[in-house]
Amino acid sequence: MGSDKKQYVIAGAATVVFTAMALLPSVPPAAKAAGAGLFLGVLVYCYKAVKKSHAEFEKTVISFHDLLTESFTTLLREITGPENVQSVLEVLEEQPLLSRRPATLAGYLDHYRSLFNKQKNIFNEKNRQIRFLNERILFSKQQLEAVFDALTDGLCIVDEYMRIFRLNRAYARYANHELKHLLGKNSHEFFPGTKRIHADQHVNKTFQTGEPVSGIKLDSVVGDSKLFFEYGTFPIYKDSRVVYVLEHFRNVTNERKINEQLIRSSNLATIGTMITGIAHEMNNPLSGISGCATNMVQMAKNYGLNDKGIERIKDILDCANRAEVILKDLLDLSRKREIQFVITSVVPIIEKSMQSIHVQGYKSVKKTIEPQPGVSNLINCDPPRIMQVFINVIANATLSVLEKAAVSEAAGASGYAPEIRIEVKREGNYIVAMVIDNGMGIPADKMPYVFDPFFTTRSPGEGTGLGLSICSKIMMEHNGRISAESDADHTVFFLEFPVPARGQG
């Protein structure tokens, strides 16, 4: 359009000059005629130049129109399914787009405006659909993340180098680290116990074969507690190739405790049926033995007994009395008693139990009770029966710490201080009393049997092996649980009591 402007300026200047020559009387007629001819020539030149410029511009506009139309059609094919593109074009133009071309410049401009508006509307609709889909995807992602984090099982997704790509809160809690600290780290460097079961081999197997692994037993120490897990792996595919592996740590600690309690209950029921009759049958001859022995001690001269004979008879009497104690414990183990439930605080029961223990050296043991602040420790129980449980457990802990003190003293070691600590706290729907001692501990191979009748870790003649069995029976009568953990430094007995329901008692 710059050349058109130039032609218009030339034509205007020629018009001014010719008008001036025509109006001035001093200009000769011949000059006016020559000027008119020159003016006409200039006008013809300008007209041809403008017409040529317009033709070139129209050609350029048509080329631009065709290029724009072709680009727009290609764009439609990319953002629209191939089966819909023709119908979309016909809706836009009411006929195929490429066969329609405006006749005037104004028509071109209107066509471009219409074309851009329709393109804008299509993009707006596509953007609306994309935003809607993104919102749905984001919501689904948030739902999956909530489910992922709500699971109590530990989950983590690792790549082929065992680096953590994704994990849930339970995994971070069991690993005792923050989520952000674990991302990108080797999963088996942080989850306790995974190296012992060679977890990396199971992950590699799943990467190589695509086969899941399940049922691997794993135990680990998390904080102050020993937890038991079932470990497994599961492949995650992309384009028919395993790109990630999901590691699954299912917490089976409570299941294990319940199974142990069921086995214990079954054993007690079997033994109870058997020993009830035996205890009654044994009680009569034991009473006879005890009576005769007592009579012989009291009338030693009548029976011609010397001091050595009297000592032997006293041994017989002691053994008979011990047998009677065992029979009484057996009957307690097998007999179902009427329980008088009341709702009371467990702390006074513990305090009274600690005052009722009479073991030599007990006063030298440091003893503390640590209830959780601001938390109710009410339980629904038969206080004398629960007191019997605490007396038994605390007495065992006392013997353990005193034995370790004697061993340390014999070895010339100093600095050992016997201690029993009882923590009371709430965990979910249970009030948990933890009796913790720093004594000799219980060997791992004997731990599964500590609640079995007649099992004891003491020397022969020092225990019947029935105390913890009776404790287990009493806890079951209260719908509670008793369990134990032990390592080189501490032994912990967990006594779990259900929180009383409203209106109970």
- Whether 167 and 221 map to the same domain: the answer is yes
Write the CATH number for 231: 3.30.450.20
Residue 93 lies in a domain: yes
Report the pLDDT value the prediction gives residue 51, as an integer from 0 to 100: 65
**One domain for residues 14 and 93:** yes
Residues 348, 490, single domain; the answer is: yes
Find out whether 179 and 167 touch, Cβ atoms under 8 Å. Answer: yes
Query: Which residues are within 8 A (CB) of 93 and not within 5 positions of it... i.e. 6 or more apart?
Result: 100
Instruction: For residues 487 and 360, state if they share a domain.
Output: yes
Stretches where the chain sits below pLDDT 50 are: 1, 91-92, 94-99, 505
Residues 429, 288, single domain; the answer is no
Cα–Cα dist 48/468, whole Å: 119
- Asked whether residue 393 is assigned to any structural domain, the reply reads yes
The pLDDT of residue 112 = 64
Q: Which residue has the tokens 């492949």?
A: 235
What local confidence, expressed as pLDDT, does residue 94 receive? Answer: 43
Strand order in the sheet with 154-158: 164-167, 154-158, 241-251, 225-238, 213-222
Question: Is the domain of 356 the same as that of 482?
Answer: yes
| 448 & 349 share domain | yes
238 & 170 share domain: yes
**CATH number for the domain harbouring residue 446:** 3.30.565.10
Please identify, among 43, 68, 101, the residue that sits at the C-terminal boundary of a domain.
101
Q: Is residue 379 part of a domain?
A: yes
Cα–Cα distance measured from residue 67 to residue 60, given in angstroms and rounded to the nearest whole number: 10
The structure's pTM equals: 0.45
Q: In 3-state terms, what secondary structure has residue 392? A: helix
At 423, the amino acid letter reads: E
227 beta partners: 220
* Final residue before a domain boundary, out of 309, 334, 359: 334
Structural domain including 225 reads 151-251
Q: What is the pLDDT of residue 98?
A: 42
Both 322 and 354 in a single domain?
no
Residue 326 lies in a domain: yes
Judge if 376 and 298 occupy the same domain: no
Flag whether 243 is in a domain.
yes
Is 397 a member of any domain? yes
Tell me what pLDDT residue 91 has.
45
CA distance 394 to 343: 23
Cβ-defined contacts of 310-317 (< 8 Å, 24+): 316/289, 317/290, 317/293
Among 221, 251, 281, identify where a domain stops: 251
Q: Which residue has 């009497």 as its token pair?
A: 317
| Structural domains of the chain, count | 4
Residues 358 and 494 in one domain: yes
Residue 237 shares a structural domain with residue 290: no
Q: Are the C-beta atoms of residues 157 and 164 closer than 8 Å to each other?
A: yes
In whole angstroms, what is the distance from residue 173 CA to residue 211 CA? Answer: 28
- Whether residue 134 is contained in a domain is answered as no
Q: Is residue 203 part of a domain?
A: yes
